[in-house]
Amino acid sequence: MKYTSTRDKSVAIDSAQAIVNGLSPNGGLYVPESFPRLSEKDFGTLCEMDYPERAAYVMSLYLTDFTYEELLSYTRQAYARFYGDPCPLVNIDDGLYVLELWHGPTCAFKDMALTMLPHLLTAARRKVGEKDRSLIMVATSGDTGKAALEGFRDVEGTDIIVFYPTGGVSDMQKKQMMTQEGDNVCVCAIEGNFDDTQNAVKAIFADEEMGKLLHERGFKLCSANSINWGRLVPQIAYYVSAYCDLLNEGRIELGDKVDFCVPSGNFGNILAAYYAMRMGVAVNKLICASNVNNVLTDFFTTGKYDVKRDFHKTISPSMDILISSNLERLLFEMSDRDDKLIAERMEALKKDGSYTVTKAERNRMGALFEVGYADDDATRSAIDASMEVYGYLMDTHTAVAYNVWCEYNNACPEDECPTVIVSTASAFKFAADVYNALTGSKKDKDAFEDCKKLASFTGEEIPEPIAALKDKRIRFDEVIDRSGIAGKVLEFADRMAGKN
């Protein structure tokens, strides 16, 4: 299987090279040249497997320059870091399921991919003969940063630097990053919001001079954001796996359609659901749920993607995003892989802050995707309702999806397909807002007090990685202006070069 670029179809490289590069040199994103199809026999095999085997099986169809055995050894190591089943499918009501993706080391769904990526990247570096150390640079709205830090800490041949918007993450997310352990890590807060931070980081990736300066120091920049194919491919697996679980439990027969409802920001998670569908998972609707940063809702409704709007800070901060990078990969498919058109649109987005798709593309998207958004009040009500109706505790992001699904279900009662709501974080990661939604009481000064209160109110246990944070030492408390990011990266590279 070769990989091409959404902005230049003449590109054809192996998956290892795509993972090492992260972003295609012309700014496009790497996509597989075609989608492998799962046969009836494949589904039969997958249904018999445990999660690490399923994940290795699905990935091996895309990463054909890796062997199944190789991938299985990585998935076994990655998912051994989870607490119990890596992605249990919980039945909360008749025909309604929650796919819990937050049982990993940082309690958010990013762990599903970021425990895998370091294994994929180190192997990929070996395969392409990369001599430079990989310097992982991440812009995060909270969850990616911590998951990447945990994934890459003390991994041979790699160093990692993470930037987050200082006011744009939850107290617990901040605490998780400030206390990060490991000898090859650096964390820095940036004045501004996530898009400012992401744009500054993207500019460094695109800066040839920076590339040269880093190469002189023995480093190659690498992305752990979901623009990297190595981040996306592990995510396809849990959609296939959820479908297998429904088959195994006798809830559906092979070929029966299901709906997936996904709380979305950068559009990586729901794109993986789309790819699973292209592989043969029977999907009726993909429901894309946003918070009030509802640029995706508007885009699917009007056909115009327009970032010229106010940025809102919400109680679901990991979805406070206006530029959904992975949408580019969907547009590539919806336009029948028209690389020139995608390049033009992405240029327009950069220059004018908007672009518009054709009627045909809009119809195509509309046939598969449903969209909706929930503001903070609706999100809080959804948390409360889920507890009340199902006795099920949701975090703020999952609650956005639940709210949007409820609206869809009311509007389209004729859709009787089973629905899987994708749950992206533990409620304890956003304990203050979840507790507030359930009881109306105000946030505590100490984030751990909110966790304790939430635990005693719900009878749920505080996940181990969050409970353990309390006694960890703060290592990184620097806040800088985004103009200082490049300097910080070079300073870190020098320090790491000195160490090795």
Ligand X SMILES: *Cc1c(COP(=O)(O)O)cnc(C)c1O
Q: Which is nearer to ligand X, 15 or 318 (CB)?
A: 318
Q: What sign has the CA pseudo-torsion 25, 114, 325, 139?
A: negative
Q: How far is the CB of 114 from ligand X (least distance, A)?
A: 11
442 secondary structure, DSSP code: P
Phi, psi of 484 (to 5 degrees): -95, 0
Residues 382, 403: contact at Cβ < 8 Å? yes
Q: How far is the CB of 110 from ligand X (least distance, A)?
A: 5
| Residue window 269-298: x/- pattern of binding to ligand X, with contact defined by CB under 6 A | x-----------------------------
Taking contact as CB under 6 A, which single stretch among the options 3-11, 130-138, 258-266, 363-371 is the one that binds ligand X? 258-266
Cα–Cα distance for residue pair 32/324, rounded to 1 Å: 20
Site residues (CB under 6 A) for ligand X, limited to 363-422: 397
Candidate residues 151, 265, 280, 372; the one interacting with ligand X per rule CB under 6 A: 265
Candidate residues 118, 230, 234, 268; the one interacting with ligand X per rule CB under 6 A: 268
Taking contact as CB under 6 A, which single stretch among the options 155-163, 186-194, 262-270, 481-489 is the one that binds ligand X? 262-270
DSSP string, 50-87: -HHHHHHHHHHHH-TTS-HHHHHHHHHHHHHTSSSSSS
Applying CB under 6 A, does 189 fall inside the site for ligand X?
A: no
Applying CB under 6 A, does 264 fall inside the site for ligand X?
A: yes
Nearest Cα residue to 319 out of 143, 100, 177, 99: 143
Cα–Cα distance for residue pair 27/202, rounded to 1 Å: 10
CA 78 from chain center: how many Å?
16
DSSP string, 160-197: EEEEEETTSS-HHHHHHHHT---SSEEEEEESS-HHHH
Q: Which is nearer to ligand X, 16 or 136 (CB)?
A: 136
Taking contact as CB under 6 A, which single stretch among the options 108-116, 148-156, 447-455, 491-499 is the one that binds ligand X? 108-116
Candidate residues 226, 381, 403, 419; the one interacting with ligand X per rule CB under 6 A: 226
Q: How far is the CB of 76 from ligand X (least distance, A)?
A: 24
Cα–Cα distance for residue pair 101/427, rounded to 1 Å: 12
The type of residue at 300 is: F
Candidate residues 238, 267, 355, 435; the one interacting with ligand X per rule CB under 6 A: 267
Q: How far is the CB of 317 from ligand X (least distance, A)?
A: 9
Cα–Cα distance for residue pair 181/60, rounded to 1 Å: 32
Taking contact as CB under 6 A, which single stretch among the options 61-69, 81-89, 257-265, 455-463 is the one that binds ligand X? 257-265
Q: How far is the CB of 288 from ligand X (least distance, A)?
A: 9
Applying CB under 6 A, does 318 fall inside the site for ligand X?
A: yes
Taking contact as CB under 6 A, which single stretch among the options 88-96, 106-114, 129-137, 469-477 is the one that binds ligand X? 106-114
Candidate residues 31, 116, 319, 327; the one interacting with ligand X per rule CB under 6 A: 319
Nearest Cα residue to 118 out of 233, 221, 230: 230
CA 368 from chain center: how many Å?
21
Taking contact as CB under 6 A, which single stretch among the options 182-190, 259-267, 297-305, 412-420 is the one that binds ligand X? 259-267
Q: What sign has the CA pseudo-torsion 385, 416, 411, 295?
A: positive
Site residues (CB under 6 A) for ligand X, limited to 32-61: none
411-441 burial, b if ≥16 CB within 10 A, otherwise e? eeeeeebbbbbbbbbbbbbbbbbbbbbbeee
Q: How far is the CB of 285 from ligand X (least distance, A)?
A: 17
316 secondary structure, DSSP code: -
Burial of 346 (0-12, 13-18, 19+ CB in 10 A): buried
Applying CB under 6 A, does 143 fall inside the site for ligand X?
A: yes
Nearest Cα residue to 497 out of 218, 134, 220, 209: 218
| Residue window 459-488: x/- pattern of binding to ligand X, with contact defined by CB under 6 A | ------------------------------
Number of residues that bind ligand X (CB under 6 A): 17
Q: Which is nearer to ligand X, 184 or 463 (CB)?
A: 463
Q: Which is nearer to ligand X, 269 or 403 (CB)?
A: 269
Residues 398, 423: contact at Cβ < 8 Å? yes
Phi, psi of 162 (to 5 degrees): -125, 135
Nearest Cα residue to 35 out of 340, 294, 240: 240
Q: Which is nearer to ligand X, 110 or 125 (CB)?
A: 110
Q: Which is nearer to ligand X, 144 or 241 (CB)?
A: 144
358-389 burial, b if ≥16 CB within 10 A, otherwise e? eeebbebbeeebbbbbbbbebbbbbbbbbbee
Q: Which is nearer to ligand X, 108 or 149 (CB)?
A: 108
Candidate residues 263, 280, 372, 463; the one interacting with ligand X per rule CB under 6 A: 263
Candidate residues 6, 180, 225, 266; the one interacting with ligand X per rule CB under 6 A: 266
Q: How far is the CB of 73 from ligand X (least distance, A)?
A: 26
Q: Which is nearer to ligand X, 425 or 434 (CB)?
A: 425
Residue spans of beta strands (DSSP E) within 214-271: 219-223, 258-263
Applying CB under 6 A, does 299 fall inside the site for ligand X?
A: no
Instruction: By CB under 6 A, name the binding residues for ligand X.
Output: 108-110, 143, 226, 263-269, 318-319, 397, 424-425
